[in-house]
Structure formats: C-alpha cells, structure tokens
Amino acid sequence: MEAAYFITGTDTDVGKTVATLALMHYIKQQGKTVIGMKPVAAGCELHNGQLKNQDALLLQAAASVQVDYELLNPYAYLEPVSPHIAGARNPVALDKVRANFNTLTPLADIVLVEGAGGWYAPINDHQAVSDLAQHLALPVIMVVAIRLGCINHARLTYQAIQASGVTCAGWIANCTDPAMLKRDENITTIKHALNAPLLGILPYQHPADFDFLARCVSLNV
C-alpha cells in the first residue's frame, strides 16, 4: 500500500459513497490499484442470509481486487438509524476495524475508508466517526454537499477535523442540488475559508457516470 485516506462528510447523505467511487475510478485510471472499505453501515438488507449495505457493495464491486464482504464492512446493521442505536447488541470495536484495515492494506496501492454519517456521528456508546479516523491515523478527505447551509457545515466540520488532530488532505464539492442558486459562489466561499485543497467538484448526475466523475477529481497518487 502506498497510501490510505478516510472519507468523511459534512452530514449524512452528502454523497460520501459517490465521492469515494469517483476517487476509486480516478485511482484506477492512474494505473494504481485501490480498495474501498466501509467499516460501519446501517440500513442493510439480507443477501442470502447475510446483512449487506448497498453502498458497501458498490465499493466492493469497484475495487481492483475482490475481497470478502466481511473485510470491507465488518459492522452491517439492519435498521437505517444511527450506528450506536442500530448496533446496540453488536457495537463497533475500533480494534476489529483496524485489524480488517491492516488485512486489506497489502492488497492494493491505496485504501479508501468511508465513514458513516458526519464527523461526530456516534458509532457506539462512547466513540464517534472521528475516533475511528484517529484510531486508523489516516488523513481525511471531507465531502461537502453543495446545498443551502453548506458553508456553515463545511467550516464546522473542517474545524472539528483539525481539533481531532488528524490531517485534512482536502475536500470535494458534491453538487447534490441541481437547483442550487449561486453554486459556484458557494464553492468559492468555502475554498477561501478552508486551508485545505479542493480536490474536485462533482456535478449533479443521476444516474452517476463514475468514469466521467473520475475526471472531475484529482489526488496525488
């Protein structure tokens, strides 16, 4: 493995998986191998008796090498609620996530680890997504959904990442609202407010074309 990054968002449903998949396709276009990991996922469905998350399945399918689902998503919860509630009977243990991460790292040049919800979303009764990123000691890429309120959310999340003592490697603007007014002006405002590079602007697409979106991002790989 050459590098690994932790992907977080300014909130839930901001497009972390879209951004992660765009980065995975970009990395492959650069001739590198990549694996995507989603350690904690709520809102899963039964597939042949096993709980699996749709986003995690997309990451598994996009990987350069095929690995067992349980390695990518060790904590898959049925209910689409906060992980600390959904996983009350099987709470997230950071050491298990790290063990899985350590198993994956020799298999690819780059590993991308996608968080759950926002930076301070609880993953068990005592720890949050931020603790997971700290435990893995990874630089963080922040995904900002470009919609009303995004400037405040971006600045707060960036400050929280800095306060956690980890490095913010950059941020990605994900244009989730096709009717957003003054979209470019909002992105420019965030760009000036953060001391972290803008790694890409993902246009609104439905359905998403990841080969195209890969050309909208850049990462030093």
Strand order of the β-sheet with 198-202 is 34-37, 110-118, 3-9, 140-145, 168-174, 198-202
SS3 content of the chain, % helix, strand, coil (to 5): 40, 25, 40
> Is 38 known to be catalytic?
yes
How many helices (DSSP H) and strands (DSSP E) are in the chain? 9, 10
SS3 3: strand
Catalytic pick among 38, 52, 96, 182:
38
d(CA 50, CA 170): 35
Active site residues: 38
